[in-house]
Chain A
Amino acid sequence: MRRYLGRKLLIYLLTFFLAVTIDWMIPRFMPGDPIMNVMSRIGAVVNPSAAQAMYEYYRHVFGLDLPIWQQYFNFWNSLLHGDLGISIYVFPTPVKTVLMRAVPYDIFLLIPSILLSWWAGNHFGAFAARSKWLDNTVSPIGYILTATPYMWLGILLAWLFGIVLGLFPIAGAYSFELRPALSLTFISSVLKHWFLPFASLFLVGFGGWAIGMRNMIIYELEADYSHYLEALGAPRKLIRQYAFQNSILPQITGLALQLGVIVAGALVTEVVFSYPGIGYLLLAAIQNQDYFLIQGCFLFIIIGVLIANFGIDIIYLIVDPRTRRGMAGETA
């Protein structure tokens, strides 16, 4: 068990290091001059001598006047102190503030959709594997759902439920007539705005897990131990239960692997629904050449994915006794 966790930790630390380094390189190697961009964003400076002074000022503020290696160390230093710099797009708000405003929305959107779609999809897939008839009628839904591009589904849902039926709003995190407050109106508004983005992420994920689970269960049902139990006269339900338990393991690892894809899906969904999460912020930052905000978003996404991965590894450890005992089971 220690070996397993140790290996995982090592990989995550290496990944973090690599990701942070790539992250740091972003403003330095992107075409264009970030300082000029800042200056033109915050207002045209007509006076040439004043322009030079401002240029130097901003170079200093963003720390770009130091030698490269020092900049790299300073970056790590400020990172560990929680300072991610100042945003250009939302000058002069610090990057961390901008990101922290967006993180709750992402967590609110991603965690329920990931967990619910995983849980519901797995059970549904197991359900579909019970009989041929069920399989043939229910599986196609799974295939269609998982093959649907996130944004297309999002737009269709927005159009159908938001515009044609008018049941849900199609943009923003909460209604424009409200201020955040712990009131029923506010909470219900937040939920209403949350529902459609959640639904698009949920449906696509659901399809994928359902299909995966169905395939796994069928595979398990054809394994030797299943036939053996059947020969012993065990009830179908028991066999299915064992098959399910065995199939869950690869699905857990699958969840960890899918995190990157799900983050991508969340990004486009946020764009479609103007939901102010990190993915949406990242896109805006790229479009506005706000290097420091890009850095911050990327970093947050990486950290989030790494933490989630680690969490899933721990869960796997709890669920699969083989890894606990250091047996061959799922290797890294």
Chain B
Amino acid sequence: MKPKKKNEFLYFALRNRKLRIGLAIILFFLLLALFGPLLIHNAPFDYVNPMGAEPPSSQYWFGTTFFGQDVFAQFVLGLRATFLVGAIGGGLGTLIGILIGFTAGYRGGIVDELLNMLTNIVLVIPTLAVLLIIAAYLQVRSILTECLFIGLTAWPWAARAIRAQTFSLRAREFVDLARMSGMKPTRIIFTEIAPNMMSYLVMTFILQFGGAILNAATLDFIGLGPTNAISLGLMMQYAVLWGALLLGMWWWFIPPGLAITAIVGALYVMNVGLDEVFNPKLREM
């Protein structure tokens, strides 16, 4: 049963255009983030070009900033930071969401009510306002603290979705069967329910990943990002503060925003593609 299922998924996965395109874009940027820093000779904040801002050339692939810093160096390191925030922030959010969503969905009753209430409360409070205030408390912020904030405030989305799925799966026969056969709840969760929800979990993670990246970019742009590193959002902020577009330095401003748009867009496309792969009804379209 299982191997055939996997093959079936893989077959459709590789055939699905959306998934292919999305994955390709993500992989491109991932490789750039991983290996790009090996290609650069300059540190991102070094003032390497005494001429100040210059358009892309063979020496500086993405040109230089107002101060003569290498935009490409900043870009690849910023990509790393962006992927890190997406992975850790999104991962944390997914994890907390899974914990709360599973527990609420599986246990039901008063536990469900309480957790549901908690989820709704956190959901309604505009997270950016809270993030702004928290971030303002800390005078020095690192990328990890940013991941922490984002994860701690983005989980309600995942929790809701997972709770709904868990609800519907819990009522199915094979779970009842497993329970009657005396399996422990944790084993049931891991061996019976989880595999059926795998697709859902993956899609939730992808959405959290994308959301975390956007959230981080917004925080960075306002000025509450990490104070000791570079990220794509920070690049955009510096570019705006120093009037990049107004002064014609498009190479400083456009690549970071374009990269974020491409990555998050690819993630969303992948998400829809995965939905089609896992849900046969959608495959025809």
Q: Do A and B come from the same complex?
A: yes
A interface residues (Cβ-Cβ under 8 A, vs B) = 11-12, 14-15, 18-19, 22, 26, 29-31, 132, 135, 143-144, 146-152, 155-156, 159, 163, 211, 215, 218-219, 222-223, 257, 259-260, 263-264, 267-268, 271-272, 282-283, 286-287, 294, 297-298, 301-302, 305-306, 309, 332
Q: A30-B136, A218-B282, A268-B221 in contact; A148/B257 too (CB < 8 A)?
A: yes
Q: A268-B221, A301-B129 in contact; A15/B261 too (CB < 8 A)?
A: no
Q: Is the pair A148, B261 in contact by a Cβ cutoff of 8 Å?
A: yes
Q: How far is the CA of A297 from the CA of B129 in the complex (A)?
A: 9
- State whether the Cβ of B120 lies closer than 8 Å to any Cβ in chain A: yes
- State whether the Cβ of B240 lies closer than 8 Å to any Cβ in chain A: yes
Instruction: Name the segment of B28-36, B63-71, B84-92, B262-270 touching the other chain.
Output: B262-270
Q: Is the pair B218, A260 in contact by a Cβ cutoff of 8 Å?
A: no
Q: A146-B268, A147-B210, A264-B127 in contact; A31/B284 too (CB < 8 A)?
A: no
Q: How far is the CA of A307 from the CA of B130 in the complex (A)?
A: 18
Identify the closest chain B residue to A22 (Cβ): B130
Q: Is the pair A147, B268 in contact by a Cβ cutoff of 8 Å?
A: yes
**Which DSSP category, helix, strand, loop or mixed, fits chain B's interface?**
helix
Contact of A267 among B128, B157, B253, B264 (CB under 8 A): B128
Interface residue total, chain B, C-beta cutoff 8 A = 49
Please give, as numbers and ranges, the residues of chain A lying within 8 Å of B136 by CB-CB distance.
Answer: 30, 286
Q: Is the pair B221, A31 in contact by a Cβ cutoff of 8 Å?
A: no
Q: A30-B136, A144-B265, A152-B257 in contact; A306/B246 too (CB < 8 A)?
A: no
Distance in angstroms from A221 CB to nearest chain B CB is 8
Q: How many A-B residue pairs have CB under 8 A?
A: 135
Q: How far is the CA of A291 from the CA of B105 in the complex (A)?
A: 40
10 new A-B contacts, CB < 8 A, other than A151-B217, A264-B128, are A147-B214, A147-B268, A148-B260, A156-B257, A223-B281, A257-B157, A260-B123, A264-B129, A267-B128, A283-B222
Q: Is the pair B281, A222 in contact by a Cβ cutoff of 8 Å?
A: yes
Identify the closest chain B residue to A23 (Cβ): B133
Q: How far is the CA of A22 from the CA of B263 in the complex (A)?
A: 35
- State whether the Cβ of B182 lies closer than 8 Å to any Cβ in chain A: no
- State whether the Cβ of B110 lies closer than 8 Å to any Cβ in chain A: no
B233-272 vs A, CB cutoff 8 Å, 1 = contact: the mask equals 1001000100001100000010011001111110111001
Please give, as numbers and ranges, the residues of chain A lying within 8 Å of B233 by CB-CB distance.
Answer: 149
Q: Is the pair B129, A263 in contact by a Cβ cutoff of 8 Å?
A: yes
**Which DSSP category, helix, strand, loop or mixed, fits chain A's interface?**
helix
Distance in angstroms from B282 CB to nearest chain A CB is 6
- State whether the Cβ of B126 lies closer than 8 Å to any Cβ in chain A: yes
Please give, as numbers and ranges, the residues of chain B lying within 8 Å of A135 by CB-CB distance.
Answer: 285
Contact of B240 among A148, A155, A297 (CB under 8 A): A155
14 contacts between A and B (CB under 8 A): A144-B261, A147-B264, A149-B221, A149-B257, A149-B260, A151-B221, A222-B282, A259-B124, A260-B125, A260-B126, A268-B221, A302-B126, A302-B129, A306-B124
Distance in angstroms from B231 CB to nearest chain A CB is 12
Please give, as numbers and ranges, the residues of chain B lying within 8 Å of A148 by CB-CB distance.
Answer: 257, 260-261
Q: How far is the CA of A127 from the CA of B71 in the complex (A)?
A: 41
- State whether the Cβ of B190 lies closer than 8 Å to any Cβ in chain A: no
Please give, as numbers and ranges, the residues of chain B lying within 8 Å of A287 by CB-CB distance.
Answer: 223
Distance in angstroms from A14 CB to nearest chain B CB is 6
Q: How far is the CA of A287 from the CA of B116 in the complex (A)?
A: 35
Please give, as numbers and ranges, the residues of chain A lying within 8 Å of B245 by CB-CB distance.
Answer: 155-156, 159, 163
Query: Closest 8 CB pairs between A and B?
Result: A152-B257, A264-B128, A147-B265, A147-B264, A222-B281, A260-B126, A159-B245, A263-B126
